[in-house]
Amino acid sequence: MLAIEGIAEAGSGHPGASFSAAEIMAALYFRKMRHDPSNPYWEDRDYFINSKAHSAPGFYATLALAGYFPVEEIKTLRKLGSRLQGHPVRYSSQQKEHSVPGTEYSGGSEGIGLSVSIGIALANKLDGKKSRVYTLIGDGESNEGQIWEAAMAAAKFRLEKLTAILDRNRIQQDGFTEDIMPLDPVRDKWAAFNWNVIEINGHKVEDIIDAINKANGVKDKPTIIIANTIKGNGIKHMTNNPQWHGKAPPRKHVALLLEELESECLIAPSIIAGQPQNYEEKVRMAERGGADMIHLDVMDGKFVPNISLFADTIGKLRHITNLPFDAHLMIERPLDHIQDYIDARCDIITVHVEACDENSLSQITDRLLLHGISPGIAINPTTDFPEWLYGYLNKIDVIIVMSVNPGFAGQKFLPAVLPKMMLLNKELRKHGFKGYIEADGGIDSTTLQQVYSAGARILVAGSAVYATSDIHGAIIHLRHKANVALEKSLLDHADSLGIKSDWMKARKHILIPFSNELGIEEDIHAIK
């Protein structure tokens, strides 16, 4: 979001590449790298070399959010006298006030950063340091011969602490990489240069973290992570379109682009629903169907009458998938059991407000945050949001607003929760809540659109996924309905800004498949 604000303000910049590498940079700076924003050149830091330097707006946004400089400075992108130039610059120590804090390397000329990384990795090796070097390279950048000279050299020196990450978005300045200079079979090329090769979806943070962990365990070889990405990911009409390699969006579209970036919906199938059957199979089917997370309903027979699954079952499911585990604990005294769910490696752990007091919730959130787990709080349909909980909004990532009374899958959605969800969403945002609202219970293709309009962005679906014969189709259908809801909301927003037809023009190829459901068939075909 910061990147798009900066680019629109500057009137130029590279939105496409900033978005294709957003998750890679976030995973490095917020999960994996050892670094200290208050001491950018700390001796024992890990290094990030942004070799494909034109992803600068995304890089600056990451540095700002990590605390290297104030986020407002993004608005000075590409302005005269600003530190934030089109390509990041690191000046010599005599002029260091001009450097962007945290920048290791001046980029712009493509193909050089990997060689610089080798120099750093070799120096660290001589000094006996544990520091790792992560280098982001582009697929257009891989046309440069120097990349392949560096590939040979890094293997020769057995630089196991060097990891290159290829942002494989398949688009470079003037077109598609495979038309301009084919890179495939890219895996075989790097393997032939004697690198350890890992290929992943570069937009799945969990897969990026897993790949980096694996790279860090390899001995005697550098690793390349081939991150398959989508240029312009996050803004539908910019994706996979070479036109958006280096073009700024019009300023009047910024509010809509920010809305879209904030509207990502995550679909979380609840595996207790449907026929009682093998949970492993249900998790696998959800993953194959394109689910974003796995929702795990834990019921203890006390907080709710039913008993479902517990931490031991979750622990056994953990090795099957990298998809985030969204554990919903419908249990009494959650503090007494929380460690079991931490040990089972859940990614989000949600406890019920009805089962906690302020003291236990405070201990639970602290414990979860210490382990890098997102804390969540769930609230029953008839429970009021307690006043004391406002004090914890900055520590909570997820708020589940139950749309059925907890206890069973397959219940009917309670429409009375919609105004509550809408109001809560508004109130909580006003009080600084930056996490997700999650709707849980009775979500199907109709109610999904209602909870979307009320602000929910994590959508739990039990029966709508597992009580059907086509699980893959059911997930696709739910995602389609979430997309319709997004397009409708964006169109309404554009209308309120008086730029509806302009927006429809920019987004025509995206809107056409939805035009019937949005009731804009005639309007869209009238646009030239």
Q: Could you say whether residue 270 binds ligand DX5 (CB under 6 A)?
A: yes
For ligand DX5, which stretch binds (CB under 6 A), given 247-255, 332-340, 343-351, 457-465? Answer: 457-465
Cα distances (angstroms) measured from residue 1 to each of 51, 61, 64, 216, 502: 22, 8, 12, 30, 21
For residue 422, the minimal CB distance to Zn ion (Å) is 20
Residue 400 CB, nearest approach to ligand DX5 (Å) = 8
Decide if 523 contacts 512 (C-beta within 8 A): no
411 touches ligand DX5 (CB under 6 A): yes
Residue 28 or 454: the one with the smaller Cβ distance to Zn ion is 454
Question: Per rule CB under 6 A, is residue 297 in the interface with ligand DX5?
Answer: yes
What amino acid occupies position 324? P
CA–CA separation, 368 vs 133, rounded Å?
29
- Check: CB of residue 438 under 8 Å from CB of residue 401: yes
Site for Zn ion in 318-337 (CB under 5 A): 328
CA atoms in the 13 A half-sphere facing the CB of 30: 19
Task: Please choose, out of 119-127, 180-188, 385-393, 456-464, the segment that lies near ligand DX5 by the rule CB under 6 A.
Answer: 456-464
| CB count in 10 Å sphere of residue 418 | 20
Site string for ligand DX5, 272-291 (x = CB under 6 A): xx------------------
Under 8 Å between Cβ of 417 and 443:
no
Instruction: Choose the stretch contacting ligand DX5; rule: CB under 6 A; options: 104-112, 159-167, 269-277, 387-395.
Output: 269-277
Residue 60 in tokens = 């600056």
Secondary structure class of 50 (helix, strand, coil)? strand
The whole-angstrom separation of Cα 181 and Cα 231 is 18
Q: Considering only residues 64-93, where is the footprint of ligand DX5 by CB under 6 A? A: none
Exactly one of 410, 453, 477, 508 binds ligand DX5 (CB under 6 A); that residue is 410
Residue nearest to ligand DX5 as judged by C-beta position: 462
Residue 167 vs 297, nearer CB to Zn ion: 297
The upper half-sphere exposure of residue 203, i.e. CA atoms within 13 Å in the direction of its Cβ, equals 14
* Residue 463 is a binding residue for ligand DX5 (CB under 6 A): yes
Q: Which does 160 bind (CB under 5 to 8 A by kind): ligand DX5, Zn ion, none?
A: none
Binding mask 321-340 for ligand DX5 (x = CB under 6 A): -------x------------
Output Rg (C-alpha) for the chain, integer angstroms.
24
Contact letters for Zn ion, residues 267-306 (x by CB under 5 A): ------------------------------x---------
Using CB atoms within 10 Å of the CB of residue 214, give its burial: 0 to 12 exposed, 13 to 18 middle, 19+ buried: middle
Cα–Cα dist 466/472, whole Å = 10
Residue 339 tokens, joined: 């460690």
Q: Is 406 among the residues that bind ligand DX5 (CB under 6 A)?
A: yes
Q: Which residues bind ligand DX5 (CB under 6 A)?
A: 270, 272-273, 295, 297, 328, 404, 406-407, 409-411, 440-443, 460-464
Q: Which residues bind Zn ion (CB under 5 A)?
A: 297, 328, 440
